[in-house]
A = this chain, B = another copy of it.
Amino acid sequence: MAKSSTLKDVAARVGVHSSTVSRVMNPATRHLVSHEVAKRVLSVTASMDYRANRAAISLRTRRTQIIGVLLPDITNPVFPPILRGIEEELRKAGYVALVADVGDDKEQYEMVQQMLSRQVDGLILATATRRDPIIDYCIANAVPVVTVNRAEDLGRTSSVVHDEGVGMRIAVSHLTGLGHRKIGHVAGPQHISTGFLRRRGFIEAMAAAKISAREYEISDAAPYTRACGREVGLALLRKRPDLTAIVAANDLVALGCYDALRELGLRCPKDMSVVGHNDMPFVDLVSPPLTTVRISHHELGIQAARLILRRTSGEDSSIVDIRLKPELILRASTASPRRRAGY
């Protein structure tokens, strides 16, 4: 690779002070320089192969302007729009995201070690569990960290989440309003805040509707996948053939319940109503289009990026929870319970 030109070389070519070149090269300060000058600097740097040697800079300033983002499953369509919000907001501040799509807990730990060894300025975790060793590690080592979409139980980090209690309340009251009482809940993983809080929210919402615990049924917790939604949905429907509606812990699980219904020869919504959670992309196109609790993916990402930037800049070390409000999106997977013969 050609030896990188220096700030001074560029400044000499353009005929400005080297601090001006430095300002232009940093997207966060570029607006301080006139558009005309910025354009000339950028055109010269492109032709001269100027590259700020970020490794050298980071040794001097201890800042890399990289934020690590850990995602639990990039193939779950809920995460790409969250990531896009994070990236857009980081970019405005001249930061980039080092994204890692990590699977189980063991791999996560190695990935965080790798990220820290590359000196990221902070971490956004979309992977947080309720008791998360990675958060322990970050706190012990003073690594700025925030969680997005999920939160830990101990509340030691700032987080951006949705009000899960409200989410389940609007899902359940939609169904009870249609006349359902025998409602099943396919719960999510209980070691993750969303799975745990949605299960609790379901129970509280059923109690508020004066429906006894004998009437409803909660399935074992499932990972957030279509395959597990199918499996757990099948078991639930076989155990309780009297159910008329299912509240799924998320949309992938709801799509798995669709699979289960098809296998059992049940029609949705005629025989069984289904409500999802997240309003991930494309659930408006499935058959039947899914009624679901919408979370604000893009806003989750934007707020998480703002929180981590505030922490890494040191301008604000307070711990805050930002709780967004979910909303019900009515589509075609819910209807009044079918009258049975003899009723």
Contacts and interface: CB of A to CB of B under 8 A. Distances in A.
A96 interface: yes
Interface stretch (A106-114, A157-165, A241-249, A319-327): A106-114
Interface stretch (A214-222, A232-240, A281-289): A281-289
A113 B74 contact: no
Interface string A47-87: 00101111110110000101000000011010011011001
Interface stretch (A14-22, A116-124, A180-188): A116-124
Contacts of A287: 285-288
Given A53-B119, A119-B54, A143-B1, A286 B282 contact: yes
Given A141-B49, A287-B287, A100 B80 contact: no
Given A84-B101, A142-B2, A285 B255 contact: yes
A155 interface: no
B118 A75 contact: no
Contacts of A197: none
Interface string A240-264: 0000000000000001001000000
B119 A55 contact: yes
A27 interface: yes
Contacts of A98: 66, 96, 98-99
A90 to B, nearest CB: 10
Where chain A touches its partner, the secondary structure class is mixed
B83 A111 contact: no
A97 interface: yes
A87 to B, nearest CB: 6
Interface string A281-325: 110011110000000000000000000000000000000000000
A117 B288 CA distance: 49
Task: Work out how many copies of this chain go into the complex.
Answer: 2
Contact of A64 (B27, B113, B118): B118
Nearest to A102: B87
A6 to B, nearest CB: 13
Contacts of A80: 74-75, 80, 101
Given A84-B75, A142-B2, A54 B285 contact: no
A254 B138 CA distance: 45
A75 B81 contact: yes
Given A97-B100, A255-B285, A281-B75, A117 B54 contact: yes
Contact of A285 (B58, B75, B286): B286
B1 A141 contact: yes
Contact of A59 (B59, B96, B258): B59
A314 to B, nearest CB: 13
A118 B117 CA distance: 14
18 contacts: A46-B113, A46-B137, A49-B141, A51-B113, A51-B116, A54-B119, A55-B58, A55-B118, A56-B59, A66-B98, A66-B118, A74-B80, A75-B77, A84-B101, A87-B101, A96-B114, A99-B99, A287-B288
Given A54-B118, A96-B111, 8 more contacts: A27-B110, A53-B117, A55-B118, A75-B84, A75-B281, A84-B101, A99-B99, A285-B287
